[in-house]
């Protein structure tokens, strides 16, 4: 197989773009996708101070590298979840990566915050992945705002966005369908959120990080089910195989024609207000934010356990 641009030996074929590329031209293709996506959907300004959420996986590390290469002012943020060996490994991958590239890095340790994920899992009887996501988003927002960052970037790629959009569509979730997208403007005390990888697939993102010699962490979380193809992603994989380019078209069509319709509806019907949490000051529509409520539940569960132990 030959590179579409220079006819040298190709290292990757992309059916959705009807193209194959050598290492050099894959890199230019990928960087162009990121730069054009940022520009066309107004994700970032040149002077934005961007906090990049780094898990240690291919998407987040590749994103940090791509944004730095494009000249953005980036700082990494890693949340150490405290999940034993898995978190130690992920953190060291992130720390080594930032050190070798000279990128500034901020680490939040959930252990030090009193909420390591294994402790939450023990005391809160709800699906741990959802709760873990809540805590990560909380600290992303908190650090972004408190430390003067103007944007928070995450490594969600086209496949992630499609899976989420599809789930929101199956439920016709008006609230989520009114604002899902690659950019969520700063409002109500939340920093602007951007997903600069929204135009590239998981496969393209993996190739990019591999070719850039980024030593990413590719082991799944010990608390996840371990299935590599999950529900909606599997459906979309098959759809894309039958008709390459469907994912991109579905997402683009949603941003151009679907979302504005839901946003208009939502504006008419919105019946809640965002105010600072009465306990921690974090923006919430619920009086006391969900993080403070979860912390309280944990505290109660731990006190009950201690009381039982004392009997």
Residues at the site binding another protein, with contacts judged by CB under 8 A: 1, 10-15, 20, 57-59, 129, 159-160, 163, 201-203, 205-207, 210-211, 218-221, 224-230, 233, 237, 240-241
Residue 308's Cα: distance from chain center in Å? 40
Is-contact 124 298, C-beta < 8 A?
yes
> For the residues of 41-61, what is the DSSP string, one character each?
TT---TT-EEEEE--SSHHHH
Q: What SS3 state is found at 237?
A: helix
**Can you tell me the distance from the alpha carbon of 262 to that of 168, in angstroms, rounded to the nearest whole number?**
12
Residue 279 Cβ vs another protein, minimum distance, rounded to whole Å:
30
In the bound state with another protein, the residue whose beta carbon lies nearer, of 157 and 178, is 157
Structure tokens at 71: 């000249």
Residue 208 Cβ vs another protein, minimum distance, rounded to whole Å:
11
In the bound state with another protein, the residue whose beta carbon lies nearer, of 33 and 201, is 201
Q: What SS3 state is found at 148?
A: coil
Residue 114 Cβ vs another protein, minimum distance, rounded to whole Å:
26
Residue 212 Cβ vs another protein, minimum distance, rounded to whole Å:
12
In the bound state with another protein, the residue whose beta carbon lies nearer, of 87 and 205, is 205
Structure tokens at 175: 């609230």
In the bound state with another protein, the residue whose beta carbon lies nearer, of 234 and 274, is 234
Q: Find the DSSP H helices in the chain.
A: 23-40, 58-69, 84-101, 117-123, 128-146, 158-170, 174-179, 202-211, 231-242, 246-253, 259-269, 290-310
In the bound state with another protein, the residue whose beta carbon lies nearer, of 21 and 97, is 21
In the bound state with another protein, the residue whose beta carbon lies nearer, of 102 and 226, is 226
Residue 131 Cβ vs another protein, minimum distance, rounded to whole Å:
14
Residue 65 Cβ vs another protein, minimum distance, rounded to whole Å:
17
């Amino acid at each position: 197989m030959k590179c579409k641009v220079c006819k040298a030996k190709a290292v990757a074929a992309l059916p959705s773009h009807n193209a194959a590329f050598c290492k050099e031209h894959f890199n230019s293709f990928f960087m162009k996708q990121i730069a054009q996506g940022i520009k066309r959907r107004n994700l970032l300004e040149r002077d934005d101070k961007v906090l990049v959420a780094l898990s240690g996986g291919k998407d987040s590390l590749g994103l940090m590298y791509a944004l730095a290469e494009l000249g953005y002012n980036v700082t990494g943020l890693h949340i150490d979840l405290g999940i034993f060996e898995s978190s130690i490994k992920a953190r060291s991958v992130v720390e080594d990566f930032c050190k070798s590239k000279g990128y500034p890095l901020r680490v939040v340790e959930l252990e030090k915050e009193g909420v390591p994920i294994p402790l939450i899992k023990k005391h809160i009887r709800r699906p741990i992945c959802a709760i873990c996501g809540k805590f990560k988003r909380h600290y992303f927002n908190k650090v972004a705002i408190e430390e003067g960052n103007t944007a928070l970037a995450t490594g969600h790629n086209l496949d992630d966005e499609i899976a989420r959009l599809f789930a929101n569509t199956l439920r016709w979730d008006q609230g989520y369908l009114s604002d899902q997208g690659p950019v969520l403007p700063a409002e109500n005390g939340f920093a602007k959120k951007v997903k600069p990888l929204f135009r590239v697939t998981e496969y393209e993102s993996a190739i990019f990080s591999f070719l850039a010699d980024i030593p990413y962490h590719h082991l799944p979380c010990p608390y996840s089910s371990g299935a590599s193809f999950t529900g909606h992603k599997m459906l979309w994989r098959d759809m894309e195989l039958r008709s390459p380019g469907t994912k991109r078209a579905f997402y683009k069509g949603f941003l151009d024609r679907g979302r504005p319709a839901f946003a208009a509806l939502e504006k008419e019907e919105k019946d809640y207000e965002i105010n600072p949490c009465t306990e921690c000051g974090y923006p919430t529509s619920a009086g006391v934010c969900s993080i403070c409520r979860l912390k309280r539940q944990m505290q109660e569960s731990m006190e009950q356990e201690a009381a039982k132990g004392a009997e």
